[in-house]
A and B are shown apart, each in its own frame.
Chain A
């Protein structure tokens, strides 16, 4: 895991170094910088040193002091800003995950059990639309339709209305409803289709026949025997998807103006803010690696055959 993180930070560094979009020193220097000021800033930020020296210094700070450096943009600690923004992303991700799992699994199950019926075809057709609609489009459309300020039907708070949980729970909740639904839409659709096809396959297995032969109710057969088997790929997929989203749901956060990691990453790229970029990238990588580990361990809990290889 550690090796991967070092590799990721190194690659990010290299990319930034090889393709700088703007000179950070110049950016920091303000509106009309004079060359000496720029040179001074450049020296301050260690930008005049060779690339590997910069990297070494960065890593030293990181590993020894947990210090991600300071943003080129506003000179605030990277670590600070990340921690400030993390709760928003976590709220968004976890909420959306709950929605998409509940909806996806329910719809998928019903579709599978009533396979080839009208309900099934409508559900899967709807799912296809859900998957195809780009998140930002869906976000903008939902704002246009439902947001308080500019929408046609004014139900939900509009973009930019997010407040932290600790500040105002009700407002926090209502401001996240649209983002949750929008973010969950594509995933719910995908998971519904995934569960449906898995469950249909599982229901044809021999042990389902045995369960029915034992005289169990169909409900029990589907839930305890069918879904129990079909859910495994869902769990692993969910783990990975959540891991990725925790690194920042850039599009959703942008559309709804939620101050999360995704927005932070986007802004830092725009501003060529290397320390910030490094920070968010490392965070994203960390979550993905963590998610992978959790999923692997979780798999052993779900499928007893995996425990002994």
Chain B
């Protein structure tokens, strides 16, 4: 079964006063029907820009876009504006991080849903209203008929996000893109929203792309994960593989630097040294090399490509170290060694 969404070598560049920003620098991943893909990265990783570009929402910003993004066979990047509009909000829907600023403050919520419905379906106003109320109820908003007439600022944060989800689902999309949907929410509300998305995803057999910086969120909801750094995918595998046997130093760095509830209190946090790079002047060779504890001379010149592991083609990594070396490094790190120590250990054994 071919994937629902296939992104192939996507490049997105913006011209700014300071230079050309390579926001997305050769990204490839796919989303299968009915499955959830997580895109994990920090600010500047290109995770949001990739999906906004796939939706055609970067066109307004004078971007230079190359590559392909095939949705059900149709390359969205080459589609006309009209075709894209037909797909947006209809087959592919998107929800954003801050529901307060992402909903128009002057229009009632119900009206904003109806607008989305009537743009893509032939329905009378009354029918559209009914449908909107139905979906408001489906996402767990109590008393949906009355809340149809409420303004966004009259909702609480969690309810607003639910309303936005309803608005996205109202035309039964096959793919939902969720850009940091819970980052702005309190933790108990976040749990409610994640539960809601997971439940709806199952019920509607919808594919989801979950963009986030939170490794806990992807661990809970996703089937596969693409880890992005400086505009590229550095690791791409099933969720279990990413957490059980990660093979990129950045992924290791992320996993080791976050405080976790499931680890003892005195376990030290091992930060990733340095800062994310400027997207205008990316480092030569491997873009992670300035911050990588295992860097070698060759890494400063050669660009690693996203390649499958020899023993598992579904797991892809962009790193110049060999898979054997990486497995051993992760072994040492998991045993509690610091990165420098792990490097020492593995060097003893000789590695490339």
Chain A in direct contact with chain B (Cβ < 8 angstroms): yes
A218 to B88, CA, bound (A): 13
- Flag if A214 contacts B106 (CB, 8 Å): no
Report the minimal beta-carbon distance from B164 to chain A, rounded to whole angstroms.
8
- Flag if B104 contacts A225 (CB, 8 Å): yes
Q: How many residues of chain A get a CB closer than 8 Å to chain B's CBs?
A: 22
Say if the beta carbon of A302 comes within 8 Å of chain B.
yes
Say if the beta carbon of A304 comes within 8 Å of chain B.
yes
A213 to B96, CA, bound (A): 10
Interface residues on B, range: 20 to 34
- Flag if A215 contacts B103 (CB, 8 Å): no
A303 to B153, CA, bound (A): 11
Cβ contact of B106, chosen from A209, A211, A220, A303, cutoff 8 A: A303
- Flag if B105 contacts A303 (CB, 8 Å): yes
A302 to B107, CA, bound (A): 10
- Flag if B106 contacts A213 (CB, 8 Å): no
Which A residues, 202 to 235, have Cβ-Cβ distances below 8 Å to chain B?
A: 205-207, 209-218, 220, 224-225, 228-229
Known: A209-B96, A305-B153. A214 touches B102 (CB 8 A): no
Of the listed residues A210, A216, A224, the one surrounded by the most CB atoms of chain B closer than 10 A to its CB is: A210
A224 to B81, CA, bound (A): 19
The prevalent SS among residues of A at the interface is helix
Report the minimal beta-carbon distance from A206 to chain B, rounded to whole angstroms.
4
A302: which B residues are within 8 A, CB to CB? 106
A218 to B80, CA, bound (A): 13
A205: which B residues are within 8 A, CB to CB? 101
Say if the beta carbon of B165 comes within 8 Å of chain A.
no
Say if the beta carbon of B339 comes within 8 Å of chain A.
no
Report the minimal beta-carbon distance from B168 to chain A, rounded to whole angstroms.
8
- Flag if B89 contacts A207 (CB, 8 Å): no
- Flag if B104 contacts A214 (CB, 8 Å): no
- Flag if B94 contacts A215 (CB, 8 Å): no
Q: Which chain B residue lies CB-closest to A232?
A: B106
A304 to B155, CA, bound (A): 13
Say if the beta carbon of B120 comes within 8 Å of chain A.
yes
Say if the beta carbon of B9 comes within 8 Å of chain A.
no
B107: which A residues are within 8 A, CB to CB? 228
B119: which A residues are within 8 A, CB to CB? 214-217, 220
A217 to B90, CA, bound (A): 13
Cβ contact of A215, chosen from B88, B102, B164, cutoff 8 A: B88
- Flag if A228 contacts B57 (CB, 8 Å): no
Report B's interface with A, CB cutoff 8 A: 55, 57, 60, 81, 85-90, 93-94, 96, 98, 101-107, 115-116, 119-120, 151, 153, 164, 167
Known: A206-B98, A210-B164, A212-B60. 7 other contacts (CB 8 A): A210-B96, A214-B93, A215-B89, A215-B119, A228-B106, A302-B106, A305-B153
30 contacts between A and B (CB under 8 A): A206-B96, A206-B98, A206-B102, A207-B101, A210-B102, A210-B103, A210-B104, A210-B164, A212-B57, A212-B60, A213-B55, A213-B88, A214-B93, A214-B115, A214-B119, A215-B87, A215-B89, A215-B116, A215-B119, A215-B120, A216-B116, A216-B119, A217-B85, A229-B104, A303-B105, A303-B106, A304-B151, A304-B153, A305-B105, A305-B153
